[in-house]
Amino acid sequence: MECYLDNSATTKVADEVIDMVVRCMREDYGNPSSKHNKGFEAEKLVNEAKAIIAKSLKCEPKEVLFTSGGTESNNMAIIGTALANSRRGKHILVSSVEHSSVKEPMNYLESLGYKITWLKVDHNGLVDLEDLKANLDDETILVSCMHINNEMGAIEPVKEIGEIVKAYNSAIVYHVDAIQSYGKLKIVPKEFKADLLSVSGHKIHGPKGTGFLYIKDRTKIQPIIYGGGQQKGMRSGTENVPGCAGLGVAVSLIYNKDFSEKQDRLYALKEHFIQAVSELPDVQVNGLTTRESAPHIISVSFADVRAEVLLHALEEKGIYVSSGSACSSNHPGLSTTLQAIGLDPKLLDSTLRFSLNFETTEEELDYTVEALKELLPVLRRFTRK
């Protein structure tokens, strides 16, 4: 049996998405900027995808900017906002459990003289709202926080953060990284008071190399890619028509039919797996495990077993999981998220992430638990020696 339980790293592209991408490459291959029918057909597909996304967010299509994925969306939100607002101040607040596509732009801005304040989190990975209030000041120009933590599945209090930020100063730009939450939760940026919101296509059964940034109308932000002035000058470069159209199909498949039922099923699967894996000796499930957490992410620590060793042992049985964020493999080291929540240091290198999708089955999860029952005693025997 093959069990793919690494859906927070990437998802299998939906058949309907593949069909749309192939159609665009074979038939609707025009440049959206061209002034002939082939160009108009391509432009229409891009606009239709934008309308689908806007409907899911309850925003205007003009507030959706296509990007190459979550990393670019986060970079544009953070760097574009910082550069556009530098005369007003150079102070930025960000949670201490962010993805590297947020951390690295922050480190870059710090090298340019910006002051970055990393907000504390509790043992469940939730941002400390009192710490947020204490650190807002007249120089603050941007607050950035992820919606769902990619390693633990904590759902951050993004609505409360938005209310605090805007009550303090409505001119502060508020960015939400929704890369792990879009497609898993219903998201309306205006309810968060968010000015910017990042999404990645390959996390929701869309093509890799696709994504978008929601930019609330009149938000003060400047481009970070210059050229031919496409997308109203905010992101130059010929639009990825197959990617945009495919992303629109992926969004439609998730949000336009039985979304609540699919979400309920994910939570039921998560509860089933947590109950089973928690019965294994010397195993700890990290963070919140109820509907206060993400429906698809489960962080589990296995005492006296190195995460990478267990990962490959599971792989031998056709089970694919992660030892953290897939992107963090390019920056080896212990998880800063797990350190931030105060996880026992002995477990930092013994934690795996299991992440589900709407097609995950109970049978796959039971098979995984049985594999763990078999592998853990053997691996611990070698470790304890």
24 and 101 in a common domain: yes
Annotated catalytic residue, options 24, 59, 145, 327: 327
pLDDT digits (tens, 9 = 90+) for 77-131: 999 999 999 999 999 999 999 999 999 999 999 999 999 999 999 999 999 999 9
312 and 217 in a common domain: no
322 and 207 in a common domain: no
Write down which residue in 255, 290, 318 finishes a domain. Answer: 255
pLDDT at 325: 52
Is residue 356's pLDDT more than 50? yes
303 and 184 in a common domain: no
Using the structure block, give the residue that is written with the tokens 């953070």. 78
Cα angle at 120 between 140 and 333, to 5 degrees?
A: 110
Average pLDDT value for residue range 231-239 = 97
pLDDT at 333: 65
Beta strand 196-200 with 211-215 is antiparallel
Residue 268's pLDDT band, with cuts at 50, 70 and 90, is very high
335 and 247 in a common domain: no
Written as six digits, the tokens of 272 are 């089933």
User: Quick one: which of 95, 324, 101, 126 has its CA closest to 199?
Assistant: 101
Write down which residue in 255, 290, 310 finishes a domain. Answer: 255
279 and 213 in a common domain: no
119 and 45 in a common domain: yes
pLDDT digits (tens, 9 = 90+) for 145-181: 999 999 999 999 999 999 999 999 999 999 999 999 9
Is residue 14's pLDDT more than 60? yes
Write down which residue in 227, 255, 283 finishes a domain. Answer: 255
pLDDT digits (tens, 9 = 90+) for 169-223: 999 999 999 999 999 999 999 999 999 999 999 999 999 999 999 999 999 999 9
Is residue 316's pLDDT more than 80? yes
Range of the domain at 288: 3-11+258-384
Is residue 374's pLDDT more than 70? yes
CA distances to 25, 90, 168, 318, 334 from 143, rounded to whole Å, are 39, 12, 12, 41, 26
Rounded Cα gap, residues 287 and 310, in angstroms = 21
**The CATH number of the domain where 314 resides is what?**
3.90.1150.10
180 and 119 in a common domain: yes
3 counts as catalytic: no
369 and 310 in a common domain: yes
Share of the chain above pLDDT 70, in %: 97
Rounded Cα gap, residues 291 and 20, in angstroms = 34
* pTM exceeds 0.85 for this model: yes
User: Quick one: which of 118, 136, 98 has its CA closest to 331?
Assistant: 98
168 and 282 in a common domain: no
Residue 383's pLDDT band, with cuts at 50, 70 and 90, is low
Share of the chain above pLDDT 90, in %: 93
pLDDT at 277: 98
170 and 239 in a common domain: yes
**Residue-wise DSSP of 230-295:** TGGGTS-S---HHHHHHHHHHHHHHHSSSHHHHHHHHHHHHHHHHHHHHTSTTEEEES--STTB-S
Residue 331's pLDDT band, with cuts at 50, 70 and 90, is very low
**The CATH number of the domain where 32 resides is what?**
3.40.640.10
Written as six digits, the tokens of 21 are 């991408």
Beta strand 173-177 with 140-146 is parallel
Residue 324's pLDDT band, with cuts at 50, 70 and 90, is low
Task: Tell me what the pLDDT averaged over the chain comes to.
Answer: 95
pLDDT at 319: 98
Q: Is residue 185 within 8 Å of 255, Cβ to Cβ?
A: no
Domain count, the chain: 2
194 and 103 in a common domain: yes
Rounded Cα gap, residues 379 and 306, in angstroms = 9
